[in-house]
Amino acid sequence: MARFDLSFRRKSILCQNSSGRESCASAKYLPRLSEDKDETRVAEGCLSKPDEGRDISEVTKSYSKDVQAVRRSPVSESSFRSLVQNARDLIALVDADGNVLYLSRSFETTLGYDPQENLGKSVFAYIHSDDASVATSAFSDVVERRATDRIVEFRLRHTDGSWRHIEAVSTNLISDPEVGGVVINARDVTGRKEAENRLRRAEKRYRTLVERVPAIVYIQESRASHSSPYIVTYLSPQVEQVLGYPPERFVRDSGLWDRLIYPEDLGGVMAEDKVTDETGDPFSIEYRMVARDGEIVWVHDEAVLIRNQEGSPLYRQGVITDMTDRKRAEEALAESEERFRGAFEDAPTGAALIGLDNRYLRVNRALCEMLGYSGEEMLRKSSFEITYSEDVRKSKDRTRRMVGEDDSSSSDLEKRYVRKDGSVLWAISDVSLVRDAQGRPSHFISHFQDLTARKQAEEALRESEELHRRRVACRYSTRARWSVLSTWRVWAG
């Protein structure tokens, strides 16, 4: 039975070059096909299908299968030659020294080189100097049978001076009398390489950004069950500054994070975990952790659950902020406020916080008892409403001086107040102006001392002194009258 003869004949086979003219040089090593009427035919184009996305070694195997199919098929020699020449992949046949015996037309479309002009040249002539040793070493392994197929990546120079990234696989068919050389299948992967480089640069920038953020950034894979820990796949270096453990410890031991959570807070964290897992709502909670040195660390943990297109959870992305300093400041502020509250509420004299509009913001018990109003009633009034009418003007003048004119920080004033029962109360009002962080007036702190008893004593003293003065005056007047009368009598007698 007749068969296909795929030997690369060293005689002229007419073919059409890119200019449309016949040429024999470029077809020197194209397959020769013998005819057999008993063989079935193969559809033209089986070798020209694009193989994007497939491994180059798979393409080579597919190509070999196609060749075998052609060997069994009565395809015309011109048809097979057309299929090889129009394949998207770069196809080359070289001898054991790497000299070119055949190049497909794709070399011209991909790299700009005329295949005919490069016959007999070294296949390594256009390889980047940094990649030459890798390419030649891989080729030697194939030629010397140390490797059956060898995939290698290198750069080839385009005729415009740019470099193209090439992925190639070589197959040693030197001993095959029908081939007599090394078959190289290659493809241009420049686009893929550029995309990979962009991705690497973006990842580097992102990692640099993440690792400079003053917070702990983490990624956790979804856990198998609610009781099992999350698998930590990434934790930024800042975790060591906060907890004293390097990131690698948490990656190796996913249960370490849960063990460092303060025991009293673990239940709340687990409950929030469950809600996020079941509903997909963002995870957000504050809790305490025990650092390596035994210190208690407050953290704020926020994360979102990332799902795939089917809605199944993939992993969590989260940010943990060290809140220890803020919590300590809050505790110190709370203690300070508690001390102030105690000193304010329990003060033996009246005290109040008054707004710039002179309305009471806060009053203590002593002031309420002094004026006879409840705390709620006082907060609905301004200081001028309970000031004796004759003293309102000097009260307003003092406020104006402190806020706008004299810029005084404190001032005291004796004035009268009208108690709830209508009685008048004398008090000394010692007022201090409080400013905000920008230095702007914020409110007043006022202390009140009841002067009623003193004023009554002073009034009684004045009355007593007045009575004494009158008595003395009367005594002197009486004596004077008696003296005049006595003088008159003496004179008259």
CATH code for the domain of 227: 3.30.450.20
Let me know whether 244 and 173 are in one domain: no
- Average pLDDT of the residues in 431-448: 90
**How confident is the model at residue 70, as a pLDDT?**
52
**Tokens 């195997």, located at residue:** 61
**Residues 292 and 373 placed together within one structural domain of the fold:** no
Cβ atoms of 118 and 80 within 8 Å: the answer is no
Helices (H), 183-228: 190-212
Report the pLDDT value the prediction gives residue 311, as an integer from 0 to 100: 81
Report how far apart the first and last C-alpha atoms of the chain are (Å, whole number): 195
**pLDDT over 70 (residue 262):** yes
Phi, psi (rounded to 5 degrees) for 122:
-70, 135
> Which class for 266: exposed (0-12), middle (13-18), buried (19 or more C-beta within 10 A)?
middle
Q: What is the pLDDT of residue 479?
A: 61
Exposure of 175 by Cβ count < 10 A (0-12 exposed, 13-18 middle, 19+ buried)? exposed
CB under 8 Å, gap of 24 or more: what pairs does 389-393 form?
390/416, 391/415, 391/416
In order of 69, 364, 383, 416, the CA distances from 379 in angstroms are 99, 11, 10, 19
* pLDDT (tens digit per residue) in 210-229: 777 889 999 988 765 556 67
Residue bearing tokens 């687990």 = 270
151 and 60 Cβ atoms separated by less than 8 Å: no
Model confidence band, residue 82 (pLDDT cutoffs 50, 70, 90):
low
Domain with 367 in it: 348-450
Percent of the chain at pLDDT exceeding 70: 76
Measured distance CA(424)–CA(370) in Å, rounded: 11
Are residue 178 and residue 38 in the same domain, yes or no? yes
Tokens of 474: 């009367």
**Containing H/E element for 43?**
none
**Averaged pLDDT of the chain:** 80
159/23 same-domain check = yes
**pLDDT confidence tier of residue 10, bands split at 50, 70 and 90:** very low
Average pLDDT score over residue span 303-317: 86
pLDDT of residue 47: 39
Q: How many CA atoms lie within 13 A of 448 on its CB side?
A: 25
Whether residue 78 contacts residue 33, with contact meaning beta carbons closer than 8 Å, is answered with: no
| Least trusted range by pLDDT, from 415-424, 443-452, 472-481 | 472-481
Least-confidence region, from 27-31, 57-61, 155-159: 27-31
Question: Do 222 and 254 fall into the same domain?
Answer: yes
Q: What pLDDT does 417 receive? A: 94
Supply the pLDDT for residue 363. Answer: 94
Average the pLDDT over each of 68-82, 158-172, 186-200, 269-283 and give the range with the smallest value. Answer: 68-82
**How confident is the model over 40-50, as pLDDT tens digits?**
333 333 333 44
Q: With a cut of 60, say whether residue 142 has pLDDT above it.
A: yes
Q: State yes or no: pLDDT of 177 exceeds 90.
A: no
**Angstrom distance (rounded) from CA 136 to CA 368:** 99
Q: Mean per-residue pLDDT for 42-68?
A: 49
Flag whether 236 is in a domain.
yes
Q: Is the pLDDT of residue 5 over 50?
A: no
How many domains are there within the chain?
A: 3
Does 303 reside within a domain?
A: yes
Residue showing tokens 């020699």: 77
- 3-state helix, strand, coil split of the chain in percent (to 5) is 40, 25, 30
Q: What is the pLDDT of residue 26?
A: 36
96 has a pLDDT exceeding 50: yes
CA distances from 17 to 86, 103, 111, 118 (A): 11, 12, 17, 14
Residue 198 lies in a domain: no
Rounded Cα distance between 46 and 79, Å, is 11
The answer on 438 and 314 residing in a single domain is no
**Whether residue 60 has pLDDT greater than 90:** no
Please tell me whether residues 383 and 322 are part of one structural domain. no
Residues 147, 36 share a domain: yes
Q: Please, which pLDDT band fits residue 20 given cuts at 50, 70 and 90?
A: very low
Q: How far is CA 16 from CA 8, 25, 26, 219, 425, in A?
A: 18, 11, 9, 59, 120
Report the pLDDT averaged over residues 464-473.
79
CB 36 within 8 A of CB 2: yes
Q: Which pair of structure tokens corresponds to residue 175?
A: 């001993």
pLDDT-based confidence at residue 274 (cuts at 50, 70, 90): confident
280 within a domain of the structure (yes/no): yes
Quote the strand ranges of 308-436, DSSP E. Answer: 313-322, 350-355, 360-363, 410-418, 424-435
Residue 395 CA to residue 391 CA, distance in Å, equals 6
- Residue 11 is predicted with a pLDDT of 32
| Lookup: tokens for 61 | 């195997």
Phi and psi angles of residue 173, each rounded to the nearest 5 degrees, phi first? -120, 30
Q: What value does the mean pLDDT take over residues 127-136? A: 93
In a domain, 9, yes or no: no
At 325 the pLDDT is: 92
Count of other CB atoms within 10 angstroms of residue 14: 10
Report yes or no on 70 lying in a domain: yes
Position 473 confidence tier, pLDDT thresholds 50, 70, 90: confident
CA 43-44-46 angle, to 5 degrees, is 85
Q: What is the mean pLDDT of residues 53-68?
A: 55
Q: Do 257 and 171 lie in a common domain? A: no
Q: Which of 18-22, 153-157, 212-216, 453-457 has the highest mean pLDDT?
A: 153-157
Q: What is the CA radius of gyration of the chain?
A: 51
Pairwise CA distance, residues 101 & 174, whole Å: 12
For residue 252, is it within any domain? yes
Q: Residues, the chain, total?
A: 493
Range picked from 35-39, 306-310, 424-428 for highest mean pLDDT: 424-428
Q: What gap in Å lies between CA 303 and CA 290, rounded to an integer?
A: 21
- Give me the pLDDT at residue 22, please: 35
**Tokens matching residue 326:** 């803020």
